[in-house]
Amino acid sequence: MIDTGSTGFMLVATSLVMLMTPGLAFFYGGLVGRKNVLTIMIQSFVSLGWTTVLWISVGYSLSFSGAGGVIGNLHLAFLSGTSLHDVFTGNNTIPLYVFVAYQMMFAIITPALITGAFANRVRFPAYLAFLTFWLFFVYFPLTHMVWGGGILQEWGVLDFAGGIVVHASAGMAALASVFYVGKRKIKEHGPHSIPLVALGTGLLWFGWYGFNAGSELQVDAVTANAFLNTDVAASFAAITWLIIAWFLEKKPKFLGLLTGAVAGLATITPAAGFVTVSSAAIIGVTAGIVTYFAVALKNKLKWDDALDVWGVHGVGGILGVILLGLFATGAVNPMVTTNGLFTGGGWSFFFKETVSVLTVGAYCFFFTYIMLKIINIFTPVKVSEEEEITGLDNSLFGEIAYENDDE
């Protein structure tokens, strides 16, 4: 029996997750230079369109059909065999099409996260190829393995809203992209618009309530817990990052506060519906500390991860899954059949979570690097130095974000 309250909530949650992709575009757009704003933004917006095409045609089927293994089948391609009257059998409270749409929004934003790492260095045709192949060989299989009845789900691995499927996978793919495309030839002088970054952060934070609380797929106590944990972790992480930066850099940085919030959101994602509020606070503080020093390490090693995708999303996602293995408790969610290491369980669940996220991270890194090399055989991946100097907005798209821009 369809529950109208849960259905209404899930439609709102789906809309919130959709809003995160434009939010990401603003977040990244503010971080790059003035001549590359449109380039980074179109990479997010084009995923809204192209990923939807792939999801409805084959992506949903590959993710959520069949049982076991690493990938589904094509029995539900183009939503074959479904109708608007079908109920999502996972809980029998919402229409199937609401679930299809909700999961589609996750597929849209995940590859878009990666784009911040190779900002200003990748040609648009190569990005479209990257987006397509990454969805087929990384996102769809991971979704099936973790949420669609695949081998990781059968093994007992938990991931409430995407620590493995979304953040660890995107973050490690981002690092591989950085190593492949190399450093920017034209260094930018920091973010061109911190207010745009703040706007993007606000949209992401707002949308993340749909991302995490919506992953319960109905309205109950777990939904409320995930909602509250999302804000708690983001806030504790933001303040932790601010304090560290204030102490080490001698000034409180607004950009640091914003980055810390996103790091906290990424880190709580896999655990939001499986841990207590006090554990969420600990996760937020830990996220602020670990991701701050991950970004510092990246800077020391001179990895040109332009917008810190690895340090924030990759490290945050991996950390969140590991912390889930420590703090998960069946007192919050009955899906936790074996508590975490610090909540009365043994090593088993912690081992499964840690091994899974590290294995997935390694796969995403190596596959992404190899995939970029293969794409480059058919179409150049890297932009030319002349295009970088001119700015990608004008050289690749013939458009500019700001008139009379001589910078």
Give the pLDDT confidence of 277-316 residue by residue, as tens digits. 999 999 999 999 999 999 999 999 999 999 999 999 999 9
Task: Give me the helix-helix angle, 254-268 and 277-301, nearest 10°.
Answer: 120
Q: What is the DSSP string of 22-74?
A: HHHHHHHHHHS-GGGHHHHHHHHHHHHHHHHHHIIIIIHHHHHSSSSSSS--S
- Residue 148 CA to residue 164 CA, distance in Å, equals 14
- Residue 218 CA to residue 91 CA, distance in Å, equals 8
Q: Which residues contact 87 (CB under 8 A, 6 or more apart)?
A: 2, 93, 94, 95, 96
Query: Position 337: which residue type?
Result: T
In the chain the domains, ranked by start, together with CATH numbers, are: 4-397 (1.10.3430.10)
User: Global pTM?
Assistant: 0.96
The percent of residues above 90 in pLDDT, for the chain, comes to 96
Q: Are 339 and 349 in contact (CB under 8 A)?
A: yes
388 phi and psi, to 5 degrees? -65, -40
- pLDDT tens digits in sequence order for the chain, 407 residues long: 899 999 999 999 999 999 999 999 999 999 999 999 999 999 999 999 999 999 999 999 999 999 899 999 999 999 999 999 999 999 999 999 999 999 999 999 999 999 999 999 999 999 999 999 999 999 999 999 999 999 999 999 999 999 999 999 999 999 999 999 999 988 888 899 999 999 999 999 999 999 999 999 999 999 999 999 999 999 999 999 999 999 999 999 999 999 999 999 999 999 999 999 999 999 999 999 999 999 999 999 999 999 999 999 999 999 999 999 999 999 999 999 999 999 999 899 999 999 999 999 999 999 999 999 999 999 999 999 999 999 999 999 999 998 865 54
The one-character DSSP state at 166 is: I
Q: Are 158 and 145 in contact (CB under 8 A)?
A: no
CA dihedral 298, 304, 308, 310 (to 10 degrees): -70
The C-alpha angle with vertex 138 and arms to 164 and 36, in degrees rounded to 5, equals: 90
Query: Which three-class secondary structure state does DSSP give residue 270?
Result: coil
- Residue 247 CA to residue 238 CA, distance in Å, equals 14
R_g over Cα of the chain: 20
Give the pLDDT score at 404.
67
